[in-house]
Amino acid sequence: MSFAAIHIPDFIVQAVVRGEAALRERAVAIVDGTPPLWSVVAANRRAAQVGIELGMAKSQAAQFTGVEIRHRLPAQEKTTHEALLDLGWSVSPWVEDSVQDTIVLDLAGLRSVFGPEEKIAHELAKRGSGLGLSARIAVAENIEVAILAARGLPDVTLIPPGEEAKRLSALPVHTLLPAPEILETLTRWGVESCGRLAALPVIQLSERLGQEGVRLHTLARGALVRSLVLAKPSDNFQEEMELDDSVEELESLSFVLGRLLDQLCERLAARSLSARSIRMEFELERSFEKGLQLSAHADQHKLIPRKFEKILTLPVPMRDSKVLLKLARLRLQSAPPPAAVIKIVISAEADRVRTTQRGLFLPASPEPERLELTMARLANLVGDANVGSPQLMDTHRPDAIRMERFRLAQEAVGGRRKKASAPGEKDSSAARMTKPANGFRLLRPSVPARVELRDGLPVRVFFYGSSGEIVAASGPWRTSGEWWQDPWEQAEWDVEVRFSSSAQKNKRSLNPGSERGLYLIYYDLRQQGWFLRGMYD
Amino acid sequence: MRSNLATLRSDVELSLAGRVVSPFGYRDRKSVETVLTGIPEIDALAGGFPRGALTEICGPPCSGRTTVLLSALASRTAEAEVCALIDARDSFDPRSAEAAGVELQQLLWVRCRSLDQSLRAADLVIQGGGFGFIALDLSDVAPETVRHVPLNAWFRFRRAVEDTSTVLLVLEQESNAKTCASLVLRMSMKGAKWSGTAESNANDNAAGINTAGILRHSHEFLAHGGLAQACLPHARLLDGSDVQAEMLHTRIQSVNFQQMQNEFRQAQNGPVSIERHFAGRDFANSGDGFERSTTQSFAAQSMWSYLHAMPVEAKLK
């Protein structure tokens, strides 16, 4: 049985650097505290080499050239820790969430999947790099030995059984994370390495340092045995970023969104999951200038919300960060945040990866990702409500339709998609439709018309500046739909109209250059007027 | 005659020698896959709508363009293809489309408000890819407005669908795409068909009135004392219309055309002269040097929405 410990050195720095890839090769110092008393709480190796020390004031640290100073980001640390856990779960289902910067995996049964332990360790390091984490990996048969080795030894370390004490002996004693007073005592005694601590007699050590001393002694020898405390896999995929300066332009916002989506999609990929929906929350800046102007109208403070939210509901689970970014941009273009943004939180509802079983004989259809992008662009162009599939409502009310979101058909059986029709329906419709159906074009809205009647029959019609003689008519056919609510309020007529020669020349005419046309006109009993509903084309 | 033709052929070949390789040799054009329109007469006329090409259907209002569109949509959606309709004036009627057999859930309907919006929407849909059938309905846009669409827009559409399996159909009042269209059909309505009940027909017959389906104004008969009972409008129904399709231009080599080519070669070597062989056939010059039939008529049937609620036995035959 082997265990792998993954440790993120300089965790606070790496949490910040994960969001700014450009800082990876730079000296970085992280400051925290109550303003204006900022002090350095973490620094990477490069910053330490140039002279940055913990506890240094921000103003002092700023005097070192080539050092990037950033503020501590607790939210980033939380998401980095979640990314670390995702890294562990991408390899093993048994993960212990030890501390914020370290996790432990049980490697039992993984040899047949990933290969020998050395290979697993290198794979973990590679995947960590993909998630933006520079990790140290240590593999040992003892959990605590693996943790200590990961903390103290660089890169990838494999400790064979029986060599635990030997490999840990060179590690500094502070790797054991003793209490400050114990560390001070050990330092005063000259015990600076684990090897020296392990060489001390345990009984005398217990007399001076108590049970904690015995525990540290056992740890230093690599003899402390315990079980793994398993962490429950989380379905929470969230990335957030607080911006140093508020951002108003969509371009700059897209840059930040892209980075967060990249990180989110990497985490989803590590867990072999995809996103079913993406939720974007923007914390908006409260403008002091606006506050002063609006102070006389207190209720107007409520007009600009503190938070702005957008949800992208995806037709199929996706984890392509580029496609998700395009969709997010299109959505924000149509409805941008009302104020400058100071914080962005992106969360994904995870789902299993889409598996597509396509048939050899099925006609081609649009790729779901590209279709979603096309739909988003069309929605930006013509409006959300004007793109989709029409669905007829169960009523005879004229033009009673609903626009549904257009989806690709899921069923495909035997190379043909099944039609939802009863056998009786199919036979009767086939018997009816021996000729092509006469097409009908609706006018939205209906066009007002003037109709001359003679003995109750329409004989002449005027619309669109043209007039024509009605040479044939069929009607009236009363209709309204939902007669139990409203009376039959429209009387429809199918009419064949012969246009005059002047009407044919009228360019504004609905039927220029044509002698005849077939139209549907109706008399609206409520509005007491005639209208042109459409034409048979 | 035959010897004259042979001499003429050899003279032409000699004069073009060195400049044109085998001027009378048959060159296979790139074969174009076509799809059925759902209207047998149009399929026989044009061979169907070509894939990877632009087809124009033009004609004045009430000429049958929408009939052809709905039939094509029904045919494509029945084959499980994903279709798109860019509706420039938001005049698509889903109810009549469903009655025509269109599977509405396989149709992406983009409801535009202007020509500019519809052209941009068409661009987006074509670039999105994967659609088997895309229709750009500019039927209700004034012809003078559509004329201002630059030719490179049509060229861009044609290039975008080339090398794909997408059928791009444009409905307009007049043809605008010029040579960018691989097939241009002009529609016109020949006449409407009206039918009545047996009672009203019998009354008409008794009065010696032609009951071909055209209702005369009842007031005329009453005024002239023609009928004791009037032909009431509610006893009549619009049965449909006769539509004519004229093929103005095509780049598709149809089966008929190939057959005619074979016949021409046979006629060259046969006992009967070419004029006598092709005498009596109704052809028009298509520009290919071969003549073919260019018009076809078909009948379109009205789908009355109220019939859907009636039992099958009660429906008019």
Distance, CA of B125 to CA of A371 (rounded, Å): 9
Backbone angles phi, psi at A391, to 5 degrees: -125, 130
Query: What is the least distance, in Å, from the CA of B198 to any CA of chain A?
Result: 16
Residue A9 lies inside a defined structural domain of this protein: yes
Out of A113, A135, A161, pick the residue that ends a domain. A161
Backbone angles phi, psi at A102, to 5 degrees: -145, 135
Whether the predicted pLDDT of A281 surpasses 90: yes
Tell me how crowded residue A459 is: count the other CB atoms within 10 A of its CB.
16
On whether any CB of chain B is under 8 Å from the CB of A393, the answer is no
In total, the C-beta contacts within 8 angstroms joining chain A to chain B are 246
CA nearest to A307, candidates A328, A285, A286, A282: A282
What pLDDT, on the 0 to 100 scale, is given for residue B299? 87
Chain A contact probe: residue of B36, B77, B105 with most A CBs at under 10 A: B105
Residue A198 lies inside a defined structural domain of this protein: no
- What mean pLDDT, rounded, does chain A reach? 85
Average pLDDT over residues A283-306: 59
Out of A313, A330, A352, pick the residue that ends a domain. A352
Sign (positive/negative) of CA torsion A238, A243, A248, A249? Answer: negative
Which has the minimum average pLDDT: A453-457, A465-469, A482-486, B109-113? A482-486
Tell me the CA end-to-end span of chain A in Å, nearest whole number: 78
Confidence of residue A349 (pLDDT cuts 50, 70, 90): very high
Looking at chain A, which residue has its C-alpha nearest residue B223? A455
Q: Which residues of B touch A365 (CB under 8 A)?
A: 81-82, 130, 132
E strands, A116-264, are 136-140, 156-158, 237-247
- Give the β-pairing of A307-318 and A273-284: antiparallel
CATH of the domain at A51: 3.30.70.270
Joined together, the tokens standing for residue A522 give 């109706």
On whether any CB of chain A is under 8 Å from the CB of B315, the answer is yes
Looking at chain B, which residue has its C-alpha nearest residue A474? B233
On whether both A153 and A251 belong to a single domain, the answer is no
Contact B109 A403 (CB under 8 A): yes
On whether both A130 and A273 belong to a single domain, the answer is no
Q: Which residues of B touch A519 (CB under 8 A)?
A: 62
CB A144 within 8 A of CB A163: no
Query: What is the least distance, in Å, from the CA of B150 to any CA of chain A?
Result: 21
Restricting to B residues 150-179, those with a Cβ less than 8 Å away from any Cβ of A are 165, 173
Which has the minimum average pLDDT: A315-329, A364-378, B200-214? B200-214
Note the pLDDT tens digit of each residue in A98-133. 889 999 999 988 989 899 999 999 999 999 998 889
Kindly list the structural domains of chain B, giving each domain's residue range(s) and its CATH number in brackets, ordered by start. 33-189+241-269+281-301 (3.40.50.300), 192-238 (no CATH)
Query: What is the least distance, in Å, from the CA of B182 to any CA of chain A?
Result: 22
Q: What is the DSSP letter of B104?
A: G
Out of A143, A161, A179, pick the residue that ends a domain. A161
On whether both A29 and A154 belong to a single domain, the answer is yes
On whether any CB of chain B is under 8 Å from the CB of A471, the answer is yes
On whether both A150 and A20 belong to a single domain, the answer is yes
Distance, CA of B242 to CA of B191 (rounded, Å): 5
**Higher model confidence: residue A202 or residue B293?**
A202
Note the pLDDT tens digit of each residue in A36-86. 888 999 998 889 999 888 888 888 888 888 899 998 988 889 989 999 999
Residue A488 lies inside a defined structural domain of this protein: yes
What pLDDT, on the 0 to 100 scale, is given for residue B236? 77
Residue A229 lies inside a defined structural domain of this protein: no
What pLDDT, on the 0 to 100 scale, is given for residue B245? 93
Residue A434 lies inside a defined structural domain of this protein: no
CATH of the domain at A314: 3.30.1490.100
Contact B93 A537 (CB under 8 A): no
Average pLDDT over residues A493-509: 72
Nearest 5°: the CA angle A490, A494, A495 is: 125
Tell me how crowded residue A225 is: count the other CB atoms within 10 A of its CB.
11
Looking at chain A, which residue has its C-alpha nearest residue B317? A432
On whether both A155 and A29 belong to a single domain, the answer is yes
Q: Among B96, B107, B140, select the one facing A439 at the smallest CB separation.
A: B96
Restricting to A residues 498-527, those with a Cβ less than 8 Å away from any Cβ of B are 507, 510-514, 516-519
On whether both A29 and A151 belong to a single domain, the answer is yes
Q: Among B65, B217, B306, select the one facing A537 at the smallest CB separation.
A: B65
Over chain B (317 residues), what is each successive 10-residue block's mean pLDDT?
80 82 64 87 91 94 95 94 95 93 94 95 94 96 93 94 93 92 93 70 46 39 37 71 90 57 58 50 42 78 55 39
Average pLDDT over residues A168-183: 90
Helix (H, G, I), strand (E, B), or coil: what is residue A408? coil
Which has the minimum average pLDDT: A149-153, A336-340, A513-517, B158-162? A513-517
Q: Among A390, A412, A436, select the one facing B94 at the smallest CB separation.
A: A390
On whether any CB of chain B is under 8 Å from the CB of A493, the answer is yes
What pLDDT, on the 0 to 100 scale, is given for residue B217? 40
What pLDDT, on the 0 to 100 scale, is given for residue A464? 81
Contact A440 B61 (CB under 8 A): no
Note the pLDDT tens digit of each residue in A143-162. 999 999 999 999 899 999 99
Note the pLDDT tens digit of each residue in A77-89. 998 999 999 999 9
Query: What is the least distance, in Å, from the CA of B259 to any CA of chain A?
Result: 28
Q: Which residues of B touch A507 (CB under 8 A)?
A: 142, 144
Joined together, the tokens standing for residue B5 give 């033709």
Whether the predicted pLDDT of A323 surpasses 60: yes
User: The pTM is what?
Assistant: 0.73
Q: Among A373, A435, A454, select the one facing B301 at the smallest CB separation.
A: A435
CA nearest to B177, candidates B254, B119, B128: B119
Residue span of the structural domain in which A259 resides: 238-288+302-352
On whether any CB of chain A is under 8 Å from the CB of B241, the answer is yes
What pLDDT, on the 0 to 100 scale, is given for residue B316? 41
Q: How many domains does chain A have?
A: 3
Q: Among A390, A409, A435, select the one facing B109 at the smallest CB separation.
A: A390
On whether both A143 and A254 belong to a single domain, the answer is no
E strands, chain B, are 34-35, 49-50, 53-58, 83-87, 107-111, 133-137, 167-172, 181-196, 236-250, 284-285, 291-292, 295-301
